[in-house]
């Protein structure tokens, strides 16, 4: 379960990120903001007949008189008021006025969830997902996430999209993952916008579309999502709506190769040019390309990297593709720099370490 920390962006898996813990973020808000949010939320849901009594508990909570808040919340909860059940569960979840007691929190969450309270359903889903107060059961968690998501709770929609992308508690289904992430993104959840960008970048549940990926990354980045800003370094700024289905703008033009007649070293003239599958070379042409790359020709190194990346003319090998692209980048080749930056997120930690060792050695075919 993702907490308040950050994680390195991985375009290959970012649509499958671990669910966000809504109440971990909630409990770290400053007390005044937190109590104000709790008051507004619960008062909006409270039945008019019980609002006056329940407001006493909320006022006590705002004043950080948690003992009184606990007393008032419990009385209202025992009278069947769902918002009071949720508020009482909060106290047990965070140890405010009482000792932390996940089982007691789950008890009240279950009662509130049965009354159809979406935030209670979402919190109960998190309890089952994490195994707090109940045995861990991701299938049950998925059911509660769905109940809250169907009521329009954005965090539940995001989490349900995550579970479908991961195949966690449900069968993996990229179409449903996209559906729920789009619902959450429509409510401004930048993590869903980031996930949608990753899905388009990787062709997960949709046709691979780098312009659309850039558009989603751009939306998330415009709202301050740092990982989306880093993704844009790879995919470029999003195209205008009229250009949404066109290739990314041409940039970072390389100098002409000193071997212009050879298709093996045709210059990559745009930032995402390395994503285009190159023409297949015969054995002799490929060996000649390898020789030029080993001799230090940056353009040849980039072309060789592209062949390894797409499995054109040679068996696909992401490690070799990254190493050759990085060698080209170290020689100042802009295409090599773009490719090595973009590929970095597709490698796991083990391959990154191996790549560092290979780069420290002389180049070999």
| Domain shared by 182 and 306, yes or no | no
pLDDT band at 210 (very low <50, low <70, confident <90, very high): confident
For tokens 């030029």, the residue is: 292
- What's the pTM value of the predicted model, to 2 decimals? 0.58
Pick the last residue of a domain from 217, 235, 253.
235
Domain of residue 348, residue span: 263-359
Q: How many CB atoms within 10 Å of residue 131?
A: 14
Assign 181 to helix, strand or coil.
helix
Residue closest to 218 by CA, chosen among 201, 189, 243, 193: 193
Give the integer Cα–Cα distance in Å for 328 and 42: 59
- Please determine, for residue 236, whether its predicted confidence score (pLDDT) is greater than 60: no
Q: Could you tell me which residues come within 8 angstroms of residue 300 by beta carbon, excluding any fewer than 6 positions away?
A: 257, 259, 264, 265, 289, 292, 293
Pick the last residue of a domain from 216, 235, 254.
235
* Angle between helices 66-78 and 82-94 in degrees, nearest 10: 140
CA 33 to chain centre: 26
| Domain shared by 302 and 197, yes or no | no
- Please determine, for residue 203, whether its predicted confidence score (pLDDT) is greater than 60: yes
pLDDT in tens, 237-278: 543 333 333 222 222 323 333 333 333 333 333 345 677 888
pLDDT-wise least confident of 17-31, 118-132, 283-297: 17-31
Which string of b and e fits 217-229 if b means at least 16 CB within 10 Å?
bbbbbeeebebbe
- Please determine, for residue 23, whether its predicted confidence score (pLDDT) is greater than 70: no
| Domain shared by 205 and 64, yes or no | yes
CB 298 within 8 A of CB 328: yes
**What mean pLDDT, rounded, does the chain reach?**
76
In-domain check, residue 7: no
What burial class does residue 143 get, using C-beta atoms within 10 Å of its C-beta: 0-12 exposed, 13-18 middle, 19+ buried? middle
Q: Which two tokens stand for residue 120?
A: 């209670």
pLDDT band at 1 (very low <50, low <70, confident <90, very high): very low
pLDDT in tens, 61-120: 888 898 998 898 898 888 888 888 998 998 998 898 899 999 999 999 999 999 999 999
| Domain shared by 97 and 171, yes or no | yes
pLDDT band at 149 (very low <50, low <70, confident <90, very high): very high
In-domain check, residue 127: yes
Report the CATH number that the domain containing residue 221 is assigned in CATH.
Answer: 1.25.40.10
Average pLDDT of span 343-357: 80
| Domain shared by 229 and 268, yes or no | no
| Domain shared by 202 and 284, yes or no | no
| Domain shared by 206 and 283, yes or no | no
* Distances from the Cα of 66 to the Cα of 24, 50, 77, 296, 331, angstroms: 19, 19, 16, 70, 63
In-domain check, residue 3: no
| Domain shared by 159 and 112, yes or no | yes
In-domain check, residue 33: yes
Average pLDDT of span 332-349: 82
Give the integer Cα–Cα distance in Å for 329 and 144: 48
pLDDT band at 205 (very low <50, low <70, confident <90, very high): confident
In-domain check, residue 364: no
Assign 20 to helix, strand or coil.
strand
Average pLDDT of span 334-362: 83
| Domain shared by 293 and 156, yes or no | no
Give the integer Cα–Cα distance in Å for 167 and 140: 14
| Domain shared by 188 and 279, yes or no | no
Average pLDDT of span 125-141: 93
The number of folded domains in the chain is: 2
In-domain check, residue 318: yes
In-domain check, residue 175: yes
CB 235 within 8 A of CB 272: yes
| Domain shared by 277 and 230, yes or no | no
Give the integer Cα–Cα distance in Å for 167 and 171: 5
In-domain check, residue 303: yes
| Domain shared by 221 and 269, yes or no | no
């Amino acid at each position: 379960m993702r907490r308040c920390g950050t994680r390195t962006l991985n375009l290959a898996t970012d649509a499958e990120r671990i669910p966000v813990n809504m109440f971990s973020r909630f409990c770290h808000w400053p007390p005044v903001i937190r109590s104000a949010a709790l008051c507004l939320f619960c008062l909006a849901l409270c039945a008019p007949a019980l609002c006056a009594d329940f407001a006493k508990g909320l006022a006590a909570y705002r004043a950080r008189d948690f003992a009184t808040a606990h007393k008032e919340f419990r009385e209202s909860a025992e009278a069947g008021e769902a918002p009071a059940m949720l508020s009482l569960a909060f106290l047990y979840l965070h140890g405010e006025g009482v000792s932390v007691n996940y089982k007691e929190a789950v008890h009240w969450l279950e009662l509130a969830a049965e009354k159809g309270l979406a935030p209670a359903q979402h919190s109960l889903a998190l309890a089952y997902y994490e195994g707090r107060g109940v045995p861990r059961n991701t299938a049950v968690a998925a059911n509660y996430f769905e109940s809250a998501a169907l009521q329009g709770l954005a965090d539940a929609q995001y989490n349900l999209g995550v579970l479908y992308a991961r195949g966690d508690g449900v069968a993996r289904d990229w179409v449903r993952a996209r559906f729920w992430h789009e619902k959450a993104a429509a409510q401004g959840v930048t993590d869903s916008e980031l996930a949608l960008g990753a899905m388009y970048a990787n062709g997960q549940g949709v046709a691979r579309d780098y312009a659309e990926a850039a558009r989603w990354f751009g939306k998330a980045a415009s709202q301050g999502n740092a990982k989306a800003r880093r993704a844009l370094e790879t995919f470029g700024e999003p195209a205008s709506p009229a250009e949404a289905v066109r290739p990314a703008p041409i940039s970072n033009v390389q100098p002409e190769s000193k071997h212009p007649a050879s298709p093996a070293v045709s210059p990559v003239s745009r930032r995402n040019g390395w994503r285009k599958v190159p023409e297949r070379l015969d054995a002799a042409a490929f060996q000649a390309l390898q020789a030029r790359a080993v001799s230090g020709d940056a353009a040849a190194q980039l072309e060789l990297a592209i062949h390894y990346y797409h499995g054109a003319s040679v068996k696909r090998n992401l490690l070799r593709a990254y190493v050759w692209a990085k060698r080209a980048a170290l020689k100042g080749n802009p295409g090599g720099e773009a490719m090595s930056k973009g590929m970095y997120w597709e490698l796991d930690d083990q391959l990154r370490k191996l790549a560092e060792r290979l780069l420290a050695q002389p180049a070999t075919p």
